[in-house]
Amino acid sequence: MIAGGGERRIAVHVCGSVAAYKACEVITTLRKAGCELRVVMTVNAQRFIGATSLQALSGHPVLTDVWQEGTEGHGMGHIELGAWAQVHVAVAASANLIARLAHGFADDAVTTVLLASRAPLVLAPAMETAMWEHPATRANVDALRARGVHVVGPVIGRLASGATGEGRMADVSAVVEETLARLGAA
Ligand SMILES: Cc1cc2nc3c(=O)[nH]c(=O)nc-3n(C[C@H](O)[C@H](O)[C@H](O)COP(=O)(O)O)c2cc1C
């Protein structure tokens, strides 16, 4: 069993997008709101931001690999985390994560925990406009929405490339608000 957490237990999933650093503010804001957090990262997310930062901000070790040692309980950390979380939030959700979720993949820590959970999922996508507008991404997002996933943004704004268009991650406040709303509904 994963110890602790009370009634406001949230798993924050971080992907390999430029906006991954915004997970820091999401984590800090949710903790200030009294939530107990666990963080899961994709391998590529770790190219953008270090697990050490997210461990410090969340107050707990970060799950980056379902095979990693030191998971709490019986070594099935992904199952335990899937059951522990009342709400999941993926920030900033990459086109790749969206595709993998839409097709039911469980090929890394993030997708495995999410597939092993019945808790609601809030997705905050962030990507270049061409990726967001690609028919494959459109179909994947539609499939996830039809399954009850709560997609927040993206919004029109300045992108990492310097261009302006739809694909900028929604404001952290909007992501936090939706996550807390799902917690209230859980
Ligand atoms: C510098 C750089 C920035 C990137 N930014 C984004 C991004 O904002 N959104 C996105 O969907 N993919 C972005 N990518 C591509 C993803 O990192 C790539 O698709 C990766 O496979 C995502 O892995 P993950 O979904 O497992 O985290 C970027 C790649 C690089 C090299």
pLDDT tens digit sequence for 28-71: 999 999 999 999 999 999 999 999 999 999 999 999 998 875 55
pLDDT at 167: 97
Asked whether residue 4 is domain-assigned, the answer is no
Range of 155's domain?
9-185
Asked whether residue 60 is domain-assigned, the answer is yes
C-beta separation of 99 from 135 below 8 A: no
Mutate to test the pocket of ligand 1, among 12, 14, 15, 17 (most ligand atoms within 8 A of CB): 17
Question: Residue 78 — very low, low, confident or very high, per pLDDT cuts 50/70/90?
Answer: confident
Asked whether residue 119 is domain-assigned, the answer is yes
Mean pLDDT (the chain) is: 93
The ligand 1 atom at the shortest distance from the C-alpha of residue 100 is 25
Look up the CATH number of the domain holding residue 22. 3.40.50.1950
Name the closest-CA residue to atom 7, ligand 1.
17
Asked whether residue 1 is domain-assigned, the answer is no
Asked whether residue 95 is domain-assigned, the answer is yes
Mean local confidence (pLDDT), 97-104: 98
Asked whether residue 136 is domain-assigned, the answer is yes
Asked whether residue 2 is domain-assigned, the answer is no
Name the closest-CA residue to atom 29, ligand 1.
17
The ligand 1 atom at the shortest distance from the C-alpha of residue 93 is 11
pLDDT at 73: 56
Q: Which residue has the tokens 């039809």?
A: 146
DSSP assignment string, 104-127: T---SHHHHHHHT--S-EEEEE--
Q: What residues have CB less than 8 Å from 52, skipping those under 6 apart?
A: none
Separation of CA 23 and ligand 1 centre (Å): 15
> Which residue has better confidence, 83 or 71?
83
Q: Ligand 1: which residues within 6 Å by Cβ?
A: 15-19, 42, 44-45, 94-97, 126-127, 131, 160
Counting the structural domains of the chain, the total is: 1
Taken in order 79, 113, 13, 143, the sign of the CA dihedral is negative
